[in-house]
Amino acid sequence: MMRYIAGILLLLQATAMQAAPLDAPALFDNLRKKVLTVKDYTAKVKMKINVSYMRIPPLAGMLYYKSPDKMRLERNGGLSILPKKNINMTLRNLIPSGNVMVFDAGVATIEGKSVRILKVVPEDDNSEIVLAKIWVDEADLLALRTETTTRNEGTIIMDLRYDRFASYALPDKVTIFMDLKGYKLPKGVTMDYNDTEKPLPPKDKKNEKGTIQITYLSYDINKGIDDKVFRERE
């Protein structure tokens, strides 16, 4: 009987230990490790850019990504777009790297899911990222929202929704919210907007916001991508 009782006590203790939530630094470290497992991918995507002062038709094509920051959008029809370095369309680039300080900022609910909020401050004074807030689905170890404050780009908010590729922390849909002050759309996008739409004067765009919505229809993950894919083509 005593062995039976001792066994039950050990089982209950182990269950309690497993159920105990991770502290904020450990949760962030586990999330970052999961995100970093993706070294490259090729994705079939649809993209919609919403800018109030410009009408841009939806884009479709292949999006190529290679860690840490190489990206190219090959549009249907053959036109390639190399996003500017300051266009952060990947979760990896919105999560601080290197040594960081991580603080627990409480809990919230996103679409019915309870999430932990982490505040992350890079220890490197030269980091482009000043502060990141991450809403983490602890059960599935996924970032459902990020709010990243940078030195040169202002604050970028990203909402992420997952389904088929959650095991890689790769979303099925992303919505990026960004400030448009000083922002210039890549060549190959602006040529498509209706040229009867006159851009607003720069002073009127001071407080303008914009969004980029990306739907990922399929992924090929960690298959290897040659660097020449990301070079400018003549």
The backbone region for 188, taken as left when phi is positive above 0, alpha when psi lies in -120 to 50, beta otherwise, is left
Question: What distance lies between CA 212 and its chain's CA centroid?
Answer: 12
Question: What distance lies between CA 192 and its chain's CA centroid?
Answer: 26
**What is the reported pLDDT for 141?**
95
Paired strand residues for 133: 119, 147
**What is the reported pLDDT for 80?**
54
- What's the predicted TM-score (pTM) here? 0.78
Decide the pairing of beta strands 70-75 and 113-122: unpaired
Task: Provide the edge-to-edge strand list for the sheet that holds 59-66.
Answer: 80-81, 70-75, 59-66, 40-51, 209-221, 173-179, 155-161, 142-150, 129-137, 113-122, 100-110
pLDDT per residue of the chain (234 residues) written in tens, 0 to 9 = 555 554 554 554 544 444 457 899 999 999 999 999 999 999 999 988 887 767 778 889 999 999 988 888 888 765 555 455 445 568 888 888 889 999 999 999 999 999 999 999 999 988 888 999 999 999 999 999 999 988 877 788 999 999 999 999 999 999 988 776 655 555 555 444 444 444 444 445 455 678 889 999 999 999 999 999 888 654
First to last CA, the chain: 80
Q: Which domains does the chain have, with CATH numbers?
A: 21-197+212-230 (2.50.20)
